[in-house]
Amino acid sequence: MATLLSTLQLSCFALVAFVAVIVLRASFRQPKGNVPPGPKPLPIIGNFFDLPSAGQAEFQHWLKHKDAYGPVSSISVMGTTLIIFHDKDVAHAYNEKYRKHRKMVHQEIGTKGLSAGFHPIQEKESLHFILETFQQPDAILHHLKTLAAAIVLNVTYGYNIDRSQPDPLVELIDHAMENLSKAFVPLYWAVGHLPNWFPGMSYRKTAQKWKAINEAAAQLPYDFVKRQMARRAHSASYVSNLLESSMAKSASGEVSLAAEDEEAIKWTAVSLYAAGSDSTVAIIHSVLCALVIFPEVVKRAQEEIDRVVGTNRLPSLTSTASSRKRGDGIPYLIPKGSYLLPSLWWFLNDPNEYPEPRIFKPERYMEPLNNPDPSELAFGYGRRSCAGRFFADASVYIAVVQLLAAFDVRKAKYSQGRGIPVTLEAIPGMVNRPAPFEFKVEPRSQRQIDLLHRILSEQKPEVSHASLLRLSEV
């Protein structure tokens, strides 16, 4: 009993001591000075209960801060500050320094000219998407995920996915991206300094598992490219291009690569998948939702495609002109180490900039309406803007325009024949995507059916690279 009591006393003492340390640390790290306004924090935990609730889209939660606290607001959780911007001019002012990783991405795909070099891959994979949708229209969202993965892996690593069964590299990287999506939610790890034994701190073990998965997702395809290059069997890709330009040859003929360059190439390659795959799926899924809600836009778009391209072939990236797409200096102290969260949703739905923002009006960016170009905001700001914006724009555009050329997109119907209502509702996560909704995709007419049958008959089998992965080393 004495031993038991002693253990309990020790445990209680340790807990009291730990809480005291937390109080001291939180008080020392509590933002001081003229920080942006926000809800009043509680002792120790700060604004923990002011974080978004489970299942709520983050942008909808933070939007309430705009009306309650103004265009710039803040919260603090255990000494970590989050600054929320609902003013795009102020958000432009807070940019991090240019980094080597972004420079690498920019030199490979960062201009329209460089991005155009990958158009053949984007057109080829978009055609696969159209033909798969033609054969299995009810599985269009699965085909959409395959499209995004196939484009990014081909461009990044020169890797052809396995279409006959789940591809092992796609599954591995998707697993890593799922972890990344959770970890990138603002203040997800706000309690990162709590010990493992503290209630709810099992996340540390989770983080260790995630790290192993992330390492494998970066290393496996990188090693694939190096082996292909050694055999001179590689295709031009982001990784192979950077390796060829970064490798140094010694007098003896040996090839070497600086460790920091190798790490940068490896991890920027993974970042391309993170930035390009999930967002491509989310954008096209959102476009599908908008097309179902606004059928008159489908009709006008199809008329324009038929006028420019005709009906005897599918559009290409050179045969059509891309349209705009829309994601439908304040003297505050920004404490060091703060997270900065610009509210892109509000910037792109501000009725002062975009009248009737919830109405799908592609013509709003043309004469005489001339609404601001949303791509200046949707892809980030200044030096922090997305280096792959032109590549991403082309991937989305060719898939959507070919889909509209071949198919009608409409509401699904109840058994009585009445259309099932559809609304655009967002679900939470790092990438803003629509909640599930019912819809139908069907060939526009017999003319399109004949065209797709002809294109299907002309396809040649592709060889997957899945068997060349060394999965046993993961």
Q: By mean pLDDT, which of 13-22, 64-73, 115-124, 347-356 is the weakest?
A: 13-22
Angle, CA of 54, 66 and 361, to the nearest 5°:
90
Distances (CA, A) of 473 to 150, 157, 216, 221, 264: 23, 18, 9, 12, 21
Q: By mean pLDDT, which of 47-51, 206-210, 215-219, 400-404 is the weakest?
A: 206-210
* DSSP element (H, E) containing 69: helix 58-69
pLDDT at 98 over 60: no
pLDDT in tens, 144-175: 999 999 999 999 999 999 998 999 999 988 88
pLDDT in tens, 229-286: 999 999 999 999 999 887 755 455 455 788 888 888 998 898 888 777 888 999 999 9
Residues of the chain with pLDDT > 70, as a percent, come to 78
pLDDT at 452 over 60: yes
- Residue that has been written with the tokens 């914006």 in this structure: 389
Q: pLDDT at position 249, please?
A: 53
pLDDT at 430 over 80: no
Which of 36 and 128 is assigned the larger pLDDT?
A: 128
Strand order in the sheet with 72-77: 72-77, 80-85, 339-342
Beta bridge partners of 89: none
Q: pLDDT at position 279, please?
A: 85
Find out whether 274 and 149 touch, Cβ atoms under 8 Å: no
